[in-house]
Amino acid sequence: MSRVYNFSAGPAVLPEEVLREAADEMLDYQGSGMSVNEMSHRSKTFQGIIDAAETDLRSLMDIPDNYKVIFVQGGDSLVFASVFMNLALNKRADYIITGNWANKAYKEAEILGDPKIVASSKDKNFSYIPDCSDLPIRDDASYVYICENNTIYGTKFPELPNTKGHELVADQSSMFLSEPVDVTRYGLIHAGVQKNVGPAGVQIVIVREDLIPDDLPGVPTMLRFKTQADAGSLYNTPNCWGIYVCGKVFKWIAAQGGLQGMKEKNVEKAGILYDYLDSSDMFSSTVDPSCRSLMNVPFVTGSPDLDAEFVAAATKAGFVSLKGHRSVGGMRASIYNAMPREGCGQARRLHEGLRDQPLADTSTKNAAGCPDARVAKEIPCTRSTA
Amino acid sequence: MSRVYNFSAGPAVLPEEVLREAADEMLDYQGSGMSVNEMSHRSKTFQGIIDAAETDLRSLMDIPDNYKVIFVQGGDSLVFASVFMNLALNKRADYIITGNWANKAYKEAEILGDPKIVASSKDKNFSYIPDCSDLPIRDDASYVYICENNTIYGTKFPELPNTKGHELVADQSSMFLSEPVDVTRYGLIHAGVQKNVGPAGVQIVIVREDLIPDDLPGVPTMLRFKTQADAGSLYNTPNCWGIYVCGKVFKWIAAQGGLQGMKEKNVEKAGILYDYLDSSDMFSSTVDPSCRSLMNVPFVTGSPDLDAEFVAAATKAGFVSLKGHRSVGGMRASIYNAMPREGCGQARRLHEGLRDQPLADTSTKNAAGCPDARVAKEIPCTRSTA
C-alpha cells in the first residue's frame, strides 16, 4: 500500500491515525460487536459517540453555552437555504460576495426572499477581499453573510467585516478548525466537514440560541434549526459514520495542540509554499498577499500548457488533485489540517526540481508526453505506509 | 474480536464481507493512494464508484430507462417534504396511514399543503394493512402515498393499493432490495439505505422522469429532484462513503442471486421465526398473518416484565437490539438481508431455551438479576470472526 499527497480541495486528506483506527474498528467498535456503520443511532454506544464529538468540538472552539451545535445533512447548499429561512424572518439579508460559494448562498436567498449584495470582489476575479469597514448594509438586514475562506480563489477575510450591529453569518467550511476563532462574534457559523474535519455528508451548524425561531410556518421540518437543536441532532437518523470520524478528528486536533497548535502548523505549511511562490520565476500566487488563505493556495505559471504539464507530472509523482478550479485555472494546493508538513516541503521540492529543468524541455518527456519520469525519480513522493 | 447478532431496526447489520473490504481499502482505495473518505467527488475514481452503484442498482431492480435514480442526503424525513414539493404541484396528495412513518410523511405534507388520509389501520395499533381496493381518493390527488413496509409495526402491504389511476409513491426504506418489485407500478420509490443497504446518510429516490418538474419557484435548490437528476447526484458533494458502501452491498446482493435470491432467503429466515411464534405458548406475533413483514418481526410474551427479562437475557447472550419500539412494546427482530440465516436459527433456539425453563424461574438468575447465564452458556451466540 502506498499513500499519495492528496491536495484535493474537498473531500480531502484525513489524518492517517484516524483512518487506521476507523479500519481497526470496522467490524467491532470497541467491543460492541458491530461496526458504527451498523449501529442504531438510538443506542447508548452511538449516543456516547455523538456526545463526545459535541463536547470535544465545544472544547476546541470554546463555544459558549448559549450556542447550539447541530450536526445536519444535505450539504452546505441546503444550509444556504436553511440559514435564510431561519434567520431572515423578514426575508432580507445582506451578502458579501468573495467567490462562488458566497454567490451560491446569495442565489439561494434570491429564491427565498430579498437578499442584497453589499460588497464584491468579482471585478478582479475574486483575488482579494473587499474593504468591509463601511458597507451599505440595510437597516433591516437580518444578517450579513460571508464565506470566510474561499476554497476556489484562495482568499480569507483578514479581519471580519464591520456589520454595523447586524448578526454575522459565516460559511467556514474550508477553514473550519484550522485556527482559533472567536465564536461570540458570529450569530451563526456553518461548515461542511469534508474539507478539514471528516468525510462528506455532515454539516456542522453553530448558532446562538436566541436566533433559532420557535415556529416557521410552511418550512419543512428538517430545515428548521429548532428540530435538530431540540433533539441533540438525533431527530432522525444522522450520518453516524461521518459524525464518528469527525469525533476522531476532533481528538486528533486536540492532540496537535488544539486550534492554536493547528494554526501554528498551518502558518508554517502555507509559508513553505507562499515563500516559494513569491520567489519563483516560474510560478506565482494569484492572490493578494493581504488576504491569502492558509488552506487553499492557487498558483499559475502563466501558461495553460505548462500548467497542464505540471499537473500531469505532479500526479504521476504522487501529488494528486493539484489541478486548479476552472474559475482560476493553473494549480491549487489545498493544505488542510491533515496535510503533513512534509507534503508541503515535498511539493516545494517538486516545484524547485521543475524550475531547474523547465517542463518545456521536451527531451525529458516520457512516452505519454509528460516530463514526469525525472520528477518521479528524484522525489520519493508516495509514502509507504504498509 | 467477536460479532453480535444485530437485530437493530436501522442502522442495521451489513454483510461482513462488505465491512472487511471497506476496512481493507481504508487507507488506499484500489491503488488510488487515498481513502474514499478523502476522495474528491469530482475525481474519475469516485465517478467510477457512483456510476457502478447506479448501474448495479438499476440491474438489481430492473429499473426502466425512463426512471431517474438519485442519491440524496438529509434523511427520509426531508424526502417527505421534497416528494410533496415536487409531485404535488396542486398541493393535494392522499396518504394511507399504516404506521409512524406514513404518518410523518402525511404530517410533513400538512405543513406544505392539503393532504388527505384515505385509509388507516390506527384503530388496531397498525397491526394490519387496511383494505385498499376501493379508497376515497380525491380526483385531483397528485399521488397516493404508502409506507410499504412498516418497520415499527412489522407489516407489509400484501398487495399494492388500487390508486384508481393516480401515481403511487412508496417509502420502501425497510424492505428496499429485500425482494423483487415492479418499478413500473410506482411513480416514485424512496428509501433510506440504513436499514437494508448501507450506512446512514443516503436516501435513494427512484422517480419517473416525467414527474420531475422543470421549475419549482420558491423551493430550495436541494429539494428539487431536477437538481440531482440533472447532475447525476453530483450537484454538490454527496455522502461519498455511504454511496461507496451501498455499491458494495449491491454487488453482494447480486452475488446472493439478486432480488429473487434475497427473497427466497428472507422468506426462509422470517419463516423460522414466524413458525416458532405461531406455535409458542410463551411468545406471539403482534401482526395479522396476511400482512407480515419479511424484515421486521415484532413479538410479545404478554408480560412487560417478562419481555424486559427476555431482552436483557438476549442482549447478554449476544442478540442485541431486540427491544421492541415503544409503540408496540415487547420485542422486535429486524432481520434484514445481511442477517444470516444462522442468526434467525440461533434466535429461535434462544426462544426455545427460555420456554423450556421460564424466565420467571429466578433460581437461575445471575448477579445482575437476569436469567442470562444459562442462555449464554447453552448458545454460542457471539460469532468469532477474528
Q: What is the ipTM of this complex?
A: 0.93
Residue A308 has pLDDT above 70, yes or no: yes
User: Is residue A208 exposed (0-12), middle (13-18) or buried (19+ Cβ within 10 Å)?
Assistant: middle
Instruction: For chain A, give percent helix, strand, coil, nearest 5.
Output: 40, 15, 45
CA proximity to B23, closest of A23, A245, A37, A385: A23
Among chain A residues, the shortest Cα distance to B384 is held by: A33
pLDDT in tens, B2-32: 899 999 999 999 999 999 999 999 999 999 9
Q: Which residues contact B348 (CB under 8 A, 6 or more apart)?
A: B272, B273, B276
Can you give the pLDDT at residue A352?
82
Distance between CA atoms of residues A158 and A132, nearest Å: 10
Q: Supply the residues of B annotated as catalytic.
A: 101, 171, 195
CATH 3.40.640.10 domain residues, chain B: 17-255
Among chain B residues, the shortest Cα distance to A17 is held by: B27
Can you give the pLDDT at residue A355?
61
Distance between CA atoms of residues A270 and B284, nearest Å: 66
Nearest to A220 among B13, B72, B78 (CB): B78
Mutate to test the interface with A, among B25, B35, B233, B323 (most CBs of A within 10 A): B35
Residue B87 has pLDDT above 80, yes or no: yes
Can you give the pLDDT at residue B357?
53
Q: Which residues contact B229 (CB under 8 A, 6 or more apart)?
A: B68, B70, B207, B209, B212
CA proximity to A225, closest of A238, A240, A242, A208: A208
Type of residue at A188: L
Q: Concatenate the DSSP letters of all residues of A321-378 into one string.
A: S-BPPTTT-SEEEE--TTS-HHHHHHHHHHHHHHHHS-TT-GGG--TTS-THHHHHHH
Residue A143 has pLDDT above 90, yes or no: yes
Residue B40 and residue A73: Cβ atoms within 8 Å? no
Residue B73 and residue A239: Cβ atoms within 8 Å? yes
Mutate to test the interface with B, among A7, A40, A77 (most CBs of B within 10 A): A40
User: At A272, which helix (H) or strand (E)?
Assistant: helix A258-279
Residue B16 and residue A37: Cβ atoms within 8 Å? no
Among chain A residues, the shortest Cα distance to B30 is held by: A1
Terminal Cα-to-Cα distance of chain A (whole angstroms): 5
Nearest CA-CA distance, residue A78 and chain B, Å? 6
CATH 3.40.640.10 domain residues, chain A: 16-255
User: Whats the size of chain A, residue-wise?
Assistant: 386
Residue B75 and residue A78: Cβ atoms within 8 Å? no
Residue A168 has pLDDT above 90, yes or no: yes
Distance between CA atoms of residues B309 and A52, nearest Å: 30
Distance between CA atoms of residues A190 and A238, nearest Å: 17
CATH 3.90.1150.10 domain residues, chain A: 2-12+257-384
Residue B39 and residue A10: Cβ atoms within 8 Å? no
Q: How confident is the model at residue A350 (pLDDT cuts 50, 70, 90)?
A: confident
Arithmetic mean of pLDDT, A342-355: 84
pLDDT in tens, B148-202: 999 999 999 999 999 999 999 999 999 999 999 999 999 999 999 999 999 999 9
Can you give the pLDDT at residue B382?
42
Are the CB atoms for B368 and B308 separated by under 8 Å? no
Tell me which residues of chain A, numbers 302 to 361, contact chain B at a CB-CB cutoff of 8 Å: 318, 320-321
- Look up residue B294 and give its three cell numbers: 419479511
Give chain B positions within 8 Å (CB) of A249. none
> Hey, is the C-beta of A239 within 8 angstroms of any chain B C-beta?
yes
Share of chain B above pLDDT 70, in %: 91
Arithmetic mean of pLDDT, B345-357: 78
Residue A108 and residue B28: Cβ atoms within 8 Å? no
Residue B198 and residue A37: Cβ atoms within 8 Å? yes
Among chain B residues, the shortest Cα distance to A41 is held by: B11
Give chain B positions within 8 Å (CB) of A77. 221-222, 235-236
pLDDT in tens, A206-238: 999 999 999 999 999 999 999 999 999 999 999
**In the CATH scheme, what architecture does the domain A16-255 have?**
3-Layer(aba) Sandwich (3.40)
Residue A25 has pLDDT above 80, yes or no: yes
Give chain B positions within 8 Å (CB) of A24. 23
Residue A1 has pLDDT above 80, yes or no: no
- Look up residue B111 and give its three cell numbers: 405543513
At residue B77, the 3 state secondary structure works out as: helix
Tell me which residues of chain B, numbers 117 to 146, contact chain A at a CB-CB cutoff of 8 Å: none
> Hey, is the C-beta of B171 within 8 angstroms of any chain A C-beta?
no
Which of A68, A76, A101, A265 is the catalytic position? A101
Are the CB atoms for B235 and B227 separated by under 8 Å? yes
pLDDT in tens, B92-128: 999 999 999 999 999 999 999 999 999 999 999 999 9
Mutate to test the interface with A, among B239, B243, B252, B327 (most CBs of A within 10 A): B239
Residue B27 and residue A28: Cβ atoms within 8 Å? no
Residue B241 and residue A237: Cβ atoms within 8 Å? no
Nearest CA-CA distance, residue B349 and chain A, Å? 20
Choice between A201 and A346, residue whose per-residue pLDDT is larger: A201
- In CATH, which superfamily holds the domain spanning B2-12+257-384? Aspartate Aminotransferase, domain 1 (3.90.1150.10)
Nearest CA-CA distance, residue B6 and chain A, Å? 8
Residue B22 and residue A26: Cβ atoms within 8 Å? yes
- Look up residue A49 and give its three cell numbers: 459517540
User: Whats the size of chain B, residue-wise?
Assistant: 386
DSSP letter for A23, please.
H
Among chain B residues, the shortest Cα distance to A201 is held by: B239
Nearest to A73 among B2, B38, B201 (CB): B201
Q: Which residues contact B340 (CB under 8 A, 6 or more apart)?
A: none
Can you give the pLDDT at residue B64?
98
Residue A77 and residue B194: Cβ atoms within 8 Å? no
Arithmetic mean of pLDDT, B309-316: 91
CB atoms within 10 A of CB A358: 14
Arithmetic mean of pLDDT, B52-65: 98
Kindly list the distances between the CA atom of residue B142 and the CA atoms of A7, B109, B188, in Å, as whole numbers in the listed order.
48, 12, 12
CB atoms within 10 A of CB A65: 7
Which CATH number among 3.90.1420.10, 3.40.50.970, 3.40.640.10, 1.25.40.10 corresponds to the domain B17-255? 3.40.640.10
Distance between CA atoms of residues B96 and B118, nearest Å: 6
Distance between CA atoms of residues B270 and B298, nearest Å: 11
pTM exceeds cut of 0.90? yes
User: Is residue B163 exposed (0-12), middle (13-18) or buried (19+ Cβ within 10 Å)?
Assistant: buried
Nearest to A108 among B32, B39, B221 (CB): B221
pLDDT in tens, A70-92: 999 999 999 999 999 999 999 99
Give chain A positions within 8 Å (CB) of B11. 37-41, 237, 240
- Look up residue B279 and give its three cell numbers: 406455535
Residue A270 has pLDDT above 60, yes or no: yes
Nearest to A23 among B2, B8, B27 (CB): B27
CA proximity to B143, closest of B175, B190, B195: B190
Residue A307 has pLDDT above 70, yes or no: yes
Tell me which residues of chain A, numbers 19 to 38, contact chain B at a CB-CB cutoff of 8 Å: 19-20, 22-24, 26-28, 32-38
Nearest CA-CA distance, residue B24 and chain A, Å? 7
Can you give the pLDDT at residue B370?
33
Distance between CA atoms of residues A325 and B289, nearest Å: 59
At residue B281, the 3 state secondary structure works out as: coil
> Hey, is the C-beta of B103 within 8 angstroms of any chain A C-beta?
no
> Hey, is the C-beta of B168 within 8 angstroms of any chain A C-beta?
no
> Hey, is the C-beta of A373 within 8 angstroms of any chain B C-beta?
no
